[in-house]
Structure 1
Amino acid sequence: MPTLPSPDVSKPGGADHARAYSRRDMAESFGTDPALYDRARPQYPEALIEAVAASAVDVLDVGCGTGISSRQLQAAGCRVLGVELDERMAAYARTTGVDVEVSPFESWDPAGRTFDLLTAGMVWHWIEPAVGGAKAAEVLRPGGRFAAFWYVLQPPAELGAAFAAVHREVIPDSPAASRAAASPLGAYEHFLDQTAESLTATGAFANVERPTFPWSRDYTRDEWLDQLRTSGLAKPLADAGKLDAVLEGTGAAIDAVGGSFTLDSVAVALTATRT
């Protein structure tokens, strides 16, 4: 599905999927149009934000992007500092009232600062696992919480099959087609496994849990295509000269079901407590 970051993944949990963090070229592609990104990407379920923000005051939002999760955390009463790789995304976030420092998280200097909560929305797979886990332990206070989370874009089965058919037609033998036909939720299990392993390896975390949060949203044709333009698949499709064809075919599939649809899916999280 469009949220998966690497065009080289042959199956959920594959080796290339595990190395998503090495694709910094793709990670930096999201800042091409920050306003579109901020408009097209969905917010996180309120229940998820409430659960991770409970009792937290100082929050470090890793890979905050345009500030979508940061603003939700602020609305929940938290004081948020964002760390973002892309200056374009950071600049946009600042216009929305989010304090952001520009740096890869792995080399970011906390300057002695520590936090009650570290969050990472749709981003922890871009963080080098061995470094990220240790850095999270460094910046969290004892008793502080780690929360990485992803929303799953899982359209109705019939429409998901139509989207997969578009990929097969435009890019035969593309891994994107097999991913679109498979369960999107299954692909995120690998991110959860990898994150849990990296935290456990530090010896500094306990109470590792994997809560899920249902969410639902109605999408028009144009809203879904805007979301697709901001996805991890957009750059490789554009580089191959295939993005317009995929957008056209995907739009036609949505038109065929009336021009809109309801996405009923879940958000998944990996949470842990700093010992």
Structure 2
Amino acid sequence: MEAFQHQLFTLIGGLICFYVLVKCIRFMKYIFPHMWSAVPQTFFRSMGEWAVVTGAGEGLGRAYSFELAKRGLNVVMISRTLEKLQRAATEVEQTTGQKVKIIQADFTKNSVYENIEKNLQGLDIGVLVNNVGMLHNPLPCRFLNGSDIDESLVNCNIISVTKMTKMILKQMESRRKGLILNLSSGLGTFPCPLYTMYSASKAFISTFSKALQAEYKAKGIIIQVVTPYGVSTPMTRYQKPDLITKTAEEFVSESLQYVTFGDEVFGCLAHEVLARVLQFVPLWVFHSNRFQETVLHSFTNYLKKMWRNPNP
């Protein structure tokens, strides 16, 4: 009996070591993406002539528009604020020499899709970036202390992804190629208190994208959910970049190297490491009242500091 137990524990230990080794080897692809599975310069252009980017006026959407244009794609930039959209489009066009088409659309409204589809007719669309999104509350707060619930967040964060995907996936399926990147959030990887509505909407994007990839992978279409943590954008009030918080340009440039790495990526090496560290933190820690009170207290002190010194 003792010998059997010894062999059993040895086998279990060996399997665990083998599992960890495989995970470590697979993680190496994020450290050396060019060696693991280099994405050729012509990859994105081979998908089609045009890329469509939502929420393209600023932040990540603007950065994706620039990067995809640098890689040889013409870009359709869609956003709500016409002035920001026109300014960003001019910069992309003048910097890259690619064609740029703009469509003004407020994704909090459910009536914008007929006009979008009309303006996209006849375009050979190879890449779709569903980037547009909004926070229900700009600062962390408990559900009942937040803004009144309306359809805006659901329309912007959920309906926009499903409608835009269905609109463009049809032609990708007929051509048997295409790339769809759906922007989620690290806060959507677990039920996140104080950002309840936002967390839930981003969890939908993750599940939707992975299920859709299972349906259409065999048809030559890549559907990937990109799940960033900290990125310095208007949504994060241009938080100062550091080891974890990336500029939009840094994050997008790195994340486009990972488009062949599976149905979900965290977008950059720092966020890939952070995601794996957080997997070891029990969920009850984030759900504890002490943790929530600490977060609320920290943000209160941060705002007081900003009010006293608006230009640190």
With structure 2 as the length reference, what TM-score do the two structures score?
A: 0.38
Q: Which has the higher helix share?
A: 2
Higher relative contact order (CA 8 A, sep 6+): 1
Q: Which has the larger radius of gyration?
A: 2
Q: Which has the higher strand share?
A: 1
With structure 1 as the length reference, what TM-score do the two structures score?
A: 0.42
